[in-house]
Amino acid sequence: MASVLVVEDDPIIRTSLIQSLSTCGHLVRSAPDGFGALREITQSPPDAVVLDLGLPDIDGADALRMIRGLSRVPVLVATARDDDLEIIRLLNAGADDYLVKPFSGGQLAARLEAVLRRCLPAAAGAPQAQGGGGGLPGSGGSSPMVIGELRIDPLARVVQLAGQDVQLTRREFDLLAFLAEHTGQVVSRQRILSEVWRRAYLDEQTVDVHLSCLRRKLGENAAQPRFLHTVRGVGVKLVCPA
């Protein structure tokens, strides 16, 4: 199962893409335009993007370039134009593959699987069975972790600060749980990307964006950290506040 972002403005096509990808077992989100897509990719990076080129707000090729400025997520472009030059231009602009409309759900699923296999050799689908540092945080049946006033229950996926629930996104939770499993150790952003996101190629800023959301939810900021400390030039560590 992969998390797939469908970017398509036509509601009928969008619904049909979502249905056929969901049927294949993927977790599908959608955006109706280019800026919506960029927002989704920044907030919660998907495993792959299916990008329509005829979008209402930005030209699809420009959207593709903007996505590439943010991330190396595999992008499958859906184009109405069956034009060699156009397709070559898109592949050069960073598309991983393309589909010419109209295409069947089966064709989409097969292209997507191929792109995921090529781009995410260790991810997409297989349960993370390794123990220790290899598995996703919280996947190993660990017991709750208590760090000062912070309590993280990996099984229930609940975080409490001073007895109050803290609402986190899936990624924020995974990031916090991972840092908590390494309390007191500085962890590099690269390691966080490869172990929490399982995408070592993502921009390290992705980690910073999520860290800053986490800090806000934990009532702290980078200038006055309590739990989440940035060690300049090295990485991040979670500590028990004195």
Q: Which residues bind Ca ion (CB under 5 A)?
A: 9, 52, 54
Residue 9 Cβ vs Ca ion, minimum distance, rounded to whole Å: 5
Which is closer to Ca ion, CB of 54 or CB of 144? 54
Residue 42 Cβ vs Ca ion, minimum distance, rounded to whole Å: 22
The phi, psi pair for 137, rounded to 5°, reads: -60, 140
Residue 21 Cβ vs Ca ion, minimum distance, rounded to whole Å: 17
Q: Which residue is listed with tokens 């921009």? A: 203
Tokens describing residue 16: 């049909």
Residue 192 Cβ vs Ca ion, minimum distance, rounded to whole Å: 36
Which is closer to Ca ion, CB of 81 or CB of 198? 81
Which is closer to Ca ion, CB of 75 or CB of 180? 75
Which is closer to Ca ion, CB of 54 or CB of 105? 54
Which is closer to Ca ion, CB of 6 or CB of 236? 6
Annotate 179-216 with DSSP letters as a single string: HHHTTTS-B-HHHHIIIIIS-TTS-THHHHHHHHHHHH
Chain center to CA of 162: 29
Residue 34 Cβ vs Ca ion, minimum distance, rounded to whole Å: 11
Contact (Cβ atoms closer than 8 angstroms) between residue 154 and residue 200: no
Peptide bond preceding 102 in cis form (omega within 30 of 0): yes
Residue nearest to Ca ion (CB): 54
Residue 66 Cβ vs Ca ion, minimum distance, rounded to whole Å: 17
Which is closer to Ca ion, CB of 93 or CB of 213? 93
